[in-house]
Amino acid sequence: SFVIKTTNSEESKFLRQMMYGYYEHCQAYPLTLIPHFFGHHAIKIPGRRKLRFVIMKNVFHTTNKIHIKYDLKGSTVGRAATDKEKERSSCILKDNDMDINRDFMRLGARKEILIRQIQHDTKFLADNAVMDYSFLLGIHNLSDQSNDLAQAQLTIPDRIRALPEYCFVSDMGGMQKEPVQGPTQVYYFGIIDILQEYTLRKRGET
């Protein structure tokens, strides 16, 4: 599935500037966690401001229900959802809302593969002066594994299945909790909001 997101002129220009490096990064790491952009477009409607938008892969590309969502930045300052936000079924929780005992990602030996990919991706972002991105985490609570698996089969090319990083999507489109003991979960994740360049103006804000 796809996500369409509007961009402003600065974000649009920044994406075009880093496009060559982005392409090279995606070639080197086909299962990169940064957004998979499929299109970058602009529409000019007479009498209105130009509308710019990108089309990208949905991080939660699955038929499984995402029961819990987190937008994580590795910071505790202002990083909590309000009580009003938590009342909504679509609420995205933040760093201070995480229940470590319930939702902490347990991946066994595959953890090292994920950490290595995060390091590759964050180095690419740092090299391009990108700031303010987030780690988006979705959690599916597995109640009936056979039913969930039947509903979430994905078509994956053999060349992708051969990669160590295939484990990111090998379990119903995500990564299943490991070791599996009692009620288990499947994790869906990606790095989002990468079009904010760390300019002098942003440096002044921080």
Tens-place pLDDT, residues 84-105? 888 787 888 988 888 766 667 7
Element at 206 (helix H, strand E): none
Q: Which residues of 85-122 are buried (b: 16+ CB within 10 A; e: fewer)?
A: eeeeeeebbbbebbeeeebeebbeebeebbeebeebbb
Among 2-11, 18-27, 120-129, 169-178, whose mean pLDDT is lowest?
Answer: 169-178
Dist. CA 55–CA 57, nearest whole Å? 7
Which tops the pLDDT comparison, 98 or 39?
A: 39
In angstroms, the Cα distances linking 9 to 21, 121, 126, 163, 206 are 20, 24, 21, 36, 22
Q: What is the pLDDT of residue 142?
A: 82
Q: State pLDDT tens for residues 130-148.
A: 988 999 999 998 875 544 5
Q: What is the pLDDT of residue 102?
A: 65
Q: State pLDDT tens for residues 142-168.
A: 875 544 554 455 667 888 888 989 999
Contact assessment for residue 1 and residue 154, using Cβ atoms and an 8 Å cutoff: no
- The CA radius of gyration of the chain, in Å to the nearest whole number, is 18
Residues of the chain with pLDDT > 90: what percent? 48
Residue 94, strand partner residues: 71
Residue 6, strand partner residues: 53
Mean pLDDT of the chain: 85
Contact assessment for residue 4 and residue 184, using Cβ atoms and an 8 Å cutoff: no
Q: What is the pLDDT of residue 192?
A: 95
Residue 109: band (very low, low, confident or very high) from pLDDT cuts 50, 70, 90: confident
Contact assessment for residue 163 and residue 30, using Cβ atoms and an 8 Å cutoff: yes
Q: What is the pTM of this model?
A: 0.84
